[in-house]
């Protein structure tokens, strides 16, 4: 009985392997991607940070600008500061909008951060650019979505650009090559009154 099951499994996997090989043979395009991580669940920035680490491992230079964030020290900044030749990590926010309570200042800070993102996109030295929490400033109309879309459309062909944050505008989702929506199933902040912790949230 076990041997027959093993034989059946092996035969099935050979068919799957052949089908996968046939499918992979058709995937010949290589291009820079526009990637969006959005949704109400945790993990959008974490996923982008993982991609940054992966790119660094291949010797690719990464530029990362954080909108909104920047008012606290984070573990990622401590790590990336050790690799200045491979990643430029710039937390340029001043905190959540409910903390800053100054729309004009928030708009000015968002504009300054966006100018850095555009500089990195235009600079051929960067293989990947991450605009962390850009979706937040788009949601609050701190930057025109059309301007962001125009910059993404004009990016160098092989450059990857990752945009994170809740509530990605539909126009950005439509323009992106890869979109992942993080869904929240459980979160200890809501269900157990667990505060943000080092190594998990920052």
Condensed to tens digits (0 to 9), the pLDDT of residues 62-120 reads 999 999 988 778 899 999 999 999 999 999 987 666 566 788 999 999 999 999 999 99
How much is the average pLDDT of 46-59?
A: 97
Contact 139, 168 (CB under 8 A): no
**Structure confidence at residue 48 as a pLDDT band (50, 70, 90):** very high
Contact 145, 177 (CB under 8 A): no
Lowest average pLDDT, out of 141-155, 162-176, 182-196, goes to 182-196
Is 1's pLDDT higher than 60?
no
Whole-number average pLDDT of the chain: 91
In this prediction, residue 196 carries a pLDDT of: 80
Strand order from edge to edge, sheet including 128-132: 87-91, 62-66, 128-132, 160-164, 34-38, 178-181
Angle at alpha carbon of residue 135, lines to 185 and 111, rounded to 5°: 150
């Amino acid at each position: 009985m076990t041997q027959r099951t093993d034989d059946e499994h092996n035969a099935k996997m050979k068919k799957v392997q052949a089908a996968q090989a046939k499918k992979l043979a058709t995937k010949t395009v290589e291009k820079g991607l526009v990637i969006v991580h959005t949704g109400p669940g945790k993990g959008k920035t974490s996923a982008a940070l993982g991609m940054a680490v992966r790119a660094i491992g291949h010797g690719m230079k990464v530029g990362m600008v954080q909108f909104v964030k920047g008012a606290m020290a984070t573990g990622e900044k401590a790590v990336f500061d050790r690799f200045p030749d491979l990643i430029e990590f710039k937390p340029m926010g001043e905190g959540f909008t409910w903390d800053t309570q100054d729309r004009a200042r928030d708009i000015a800070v968002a504009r300054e951060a966006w100018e850095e993102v555009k500089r990195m996109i235009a600079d051929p030295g960067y293989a990947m650019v991450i605009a962390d929490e850009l979706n937040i400033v788009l949601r609050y109309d701190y930057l025109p979505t059309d301007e962001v879309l125009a910059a993404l459309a004009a990016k160098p062909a092989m450059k990857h650009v990752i945009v994170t944050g809740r509530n990605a505008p539909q126009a950005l989702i439509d323009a992106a090559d890869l979109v992942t929506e993080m869904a929240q199933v459980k979160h200890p902040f809501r269900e157990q009154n667990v505060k943000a912790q080092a190594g998990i949230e920052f």
